[in-house]
């Protein structure tokens, strides 16, 4: 009878070894980190909104460029009023003009006007009534100080380009944030999955062991404590498995939310090629740092902020200058109409040279504005220095962690082999009746703990590899990016 019972126990153990726990569950789709991230960057609304903001910023450049186009203006009026002599007079006027400012800061204006006046009493016999007057004037304005070289236009273009760069940096920052959020969720799910499969395998073994112990107890070959130990082991494994199911549901729902999938859609996280990535020596830090700086959204954002600050500084320095404009005008005027002594028809070429000057006596407001722009530039420069320091420390830390993780993987593999040999020897002794049940359960748990520890170390190592790939911008090389996602302006 004892021999038959031992055969039953041996058969149960072989069944556990041959049929892995995942085979008993429903087959679900496999999902890698890159696949999850691909779905997210293709569909997540925040990236679409960020792309729209980039496009909106690009329209500012068109708006600034249009400031150099021709501007058409016109006016007209009809009035009845008292003339200088206090007599009623009817007047009508019509005017139109074209104006344009050039990139040099100079401006050109062309204006024509017509005026009709009919008074009940005229100034004298030689004054026409009704009188018709026309004028056509061409003005050319040249700023000599404020407005010279048109800083509003030139720095406006710089600001427009910098604003596009800023919105692009914001979009890249959102993309990187989603990559890291996905990283935490995906590898967190992989860890929970490994824990769950370990617990489920433990439940299966505990049930078979409990059945075996109960059979031995019924035959009087096992004690009550053996039966209670087997039952307690089963309850412990079941409680752990249920707890892990809750964690799995929460994290799976969050990842499905990012991917825009049904909340309860199942998948099996699978580690990809990150485990086969080559080791990077610590001497590679300078090149890695350069690579990380080139793909840093924070540095790109600060670069845009510096450009915006410098453009604003130029505008405010120009605004502080005195206004001194030279205006050259040339044109023609006519004055005609019937008078007491006959028709009047006067035509004359006119022109002039004019200087316009304006100066604010209190410059403190301008100086404060200039200082504010300088502070903005300094802030962006200091923040860039901080970002570079953070990148250096992060890269150094990751390289150190990866080197230590590689050594840990070797150690955990050796530990698993040792635990496997220890368990095999204990099982052999147990079959011969020279090993207790509680010790066998302990060795079995230690074996499973070693397996899980190795799998957990593999997951953490893979996560660090992907973290480094995000930092270097390499992660995007493995994905299919749309044109709006491919790079910077």
pLDDT in tens, 127-141: 777 888 999 999 999
Question: pLDDT: is 283 or 456 the higher one?
Answer: 456
| Neighbour count for residue 345 (Cβ, 10 Å) | 11
Distance CA 457, CA 454 (A): 5
Distance CA 115, CA 133 (A): 5
pLDDT digits (tens, 9 = 90+) for 17-52: 333 333 334 567 899 999 999 999 998 999 999 999
CA distances from 392 to 82, 91, 289, 292, 364 (A): 82, 78, 6, 9, 42
Beta partners for residue 117, in sequence order: 91, 131
> Are 173 and 297 a contacting pair, CB within 8 Å?
yes
Query: Collapsing DSSP states into helix, strand and coil, what is residue 432?
Result: coil
What value does the mean pLDDT take over residues 171-180?
95
pLDDT digits (tens, 9 = 90+) for 389-398: 999 999 999 9
Question: pLDDT: is 18 or 72 the higher one?
Answer: 72
pLDDT of residue 177: 95
User: Average pLDDT, whole number, for the chain?
Assistant: 85
Would you say how long the chain is, in residues?
489
pLDDT of residue 6: 44
Contacting residues for 460 by C-beta, under 8 A, at least 6 apart: 187, 405
pLDDT bin (cut points 50, 70, 90) of residue 482 is: low
489 HSE (CA, 13 A, CB side):
20
Burial state string for 200-238 with b = 16 or more CB within 10 A and e = fewer than 16: bbbbbbbbbbbebbebbbeeeebeeebbebbeebbeebb
Token pair of 110 as six digits: 């062309």
What value does the mean pLDDT take over residues 69-82?
88
What value does the mean pLDDT take over residues 94-119?
92
Question: pLDDT: is 276 or 334 the higher one?
Answer: 334
What value does the mean pLDDT take over residues 303-315?
95
pLDDT digits (tens, 9 = 90+) for 215-229: 877 887 777 887 888
Distance CA 21, CA 194 (A): 11
Distance CA 129, CA 120 (A): 9
> Are 405 and 457 a contacting pair, CB within 8 Å?
yes
Question: pLDDT: is 57 or 219 the higher one?
Answer: 57
pLDDT of residue 8: 39
Query: Collapsing DSSP states into helix, strand and coil, what is residue 334?
Result: strand
pLDDT of residue 124: 66
Please give the full DSSP string across 255-278, using - where no structure is assigned. Answer: HHHHHT--TT---EE---GGGGPP
pLDDT digits (tens, 9 = 90+) for 351-365: 899 998 998 888 899
Mean pLDDT is lowest, of 6-15, 55-64, 331-340, for: 6-15
**N-term to C-term CA, the chain:** 81
pLDDT of residue 85: 65
pLDDT of residue 439: 79
- Report whether pLDDT(211) > 80: yes
> Are 61 and 489 a contacting pair, CB within 8 Å?
no
pLDDT digits (tens, 9 = 90+) for 147-161: 999 999 999 999 999
What value does the mean pLDDT take over residues 445-457?
89
What value does the mean pLDDT take over residues 81-101?
83
């Amino acid at each position: 009878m004892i021999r038959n019972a031992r055969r039953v126990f041996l058969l149960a153990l072989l069944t556990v070894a041959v049929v892995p726990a995942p085979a008993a569950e429903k087959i679900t789709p496999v999902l890698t980190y890159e696949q999850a991230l691909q779905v997210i960057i293709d569909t997540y609304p925040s990236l679409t909104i960020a792309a729209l903001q980039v496009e909106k910023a690009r329209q500012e450049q068109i708006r600034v460029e249009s400031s150099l186009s021709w501007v058409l203006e016109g006016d007209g009026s009809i009035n009845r009023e008292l003339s200088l002599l206090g007599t009623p007079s009817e007047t009508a006027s019509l005017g139109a003009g074209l104006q344009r400012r050039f990139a040099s800061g100079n401006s050109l204006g062309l204006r024509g006007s017509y005026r009709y006046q009919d008074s009940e009493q005229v100034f004298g016999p030689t004054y026409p009534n009704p009188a018709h007057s026309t004028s056509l004037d061409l003005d050319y304005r040249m700023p000599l100080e404020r407005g010279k070289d048109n800083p509003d236009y030139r720095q406006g273009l710089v600001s427009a380009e910098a604003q596009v760069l800023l919105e692009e940096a914001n979009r890249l920052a959102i993309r990187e944030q989603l990559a890291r959020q996905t990283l935490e969720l995906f590898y967190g799910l992989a860890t929970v999955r490994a824990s769950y499969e370990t617990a489920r395998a433990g439940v299966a073994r505990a049930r078979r062991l409990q059945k075996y112990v109960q059979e031995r107890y019924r035959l009087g070959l096992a004690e009550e404590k053996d039966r209670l130990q087997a039952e307690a082991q089963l309850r412990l494994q079941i409680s752990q498995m249920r707890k892990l199911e809750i964690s799995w549901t929460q994290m799976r729902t969050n990842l499905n939310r990012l991917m825009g999938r049904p909340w309860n859609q199942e998948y099996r996280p699978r580690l990809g090629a990150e485990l086969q990535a080559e080791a990077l020596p610590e001497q590679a830090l300078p090149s890695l740092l350069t690579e990380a700086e080139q793909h840093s959204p924070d540095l790109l954002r600060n670069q845009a902020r510096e450009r915006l600050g410098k453009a604003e500084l130029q505008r405010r320095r120009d605004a502080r200058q005195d206004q001194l404009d030279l205006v050259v005008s040339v044109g023609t005027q006519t004055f005609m109409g019937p008078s007491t002594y006959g028709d009047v028809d006067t035509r004359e070429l006119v022109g002039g040279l004019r200087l316009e000057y304006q100066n604010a006596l209190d410059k403190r407001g301008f100086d404060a504005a200039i200082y504010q722009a300088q502070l903005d530039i300094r802030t962006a420069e200091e923040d860039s220095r901080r970002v570079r320091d953070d990148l250096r420390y992060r890269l150094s830390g990751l390289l150190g962690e990866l080197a230590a993780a590689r050594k840990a993987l070797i150690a955990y593999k050796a530990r698993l082999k040792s635990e496997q040999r220890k368990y095999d020897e204990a099982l052999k002794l147990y079959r011969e009746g020279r090993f207790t049940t509680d010790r066998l359960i302990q060795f079995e748990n230690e074996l499973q703990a070693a397996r899980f520890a190795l799998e957990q170390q593999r997951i953490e190592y893979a996560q660090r590899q992907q973290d480094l790939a995000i930092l270097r911008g390499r992660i995007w090389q493995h994905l299919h990016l749309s044109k709006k996602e491919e790079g910077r302006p």
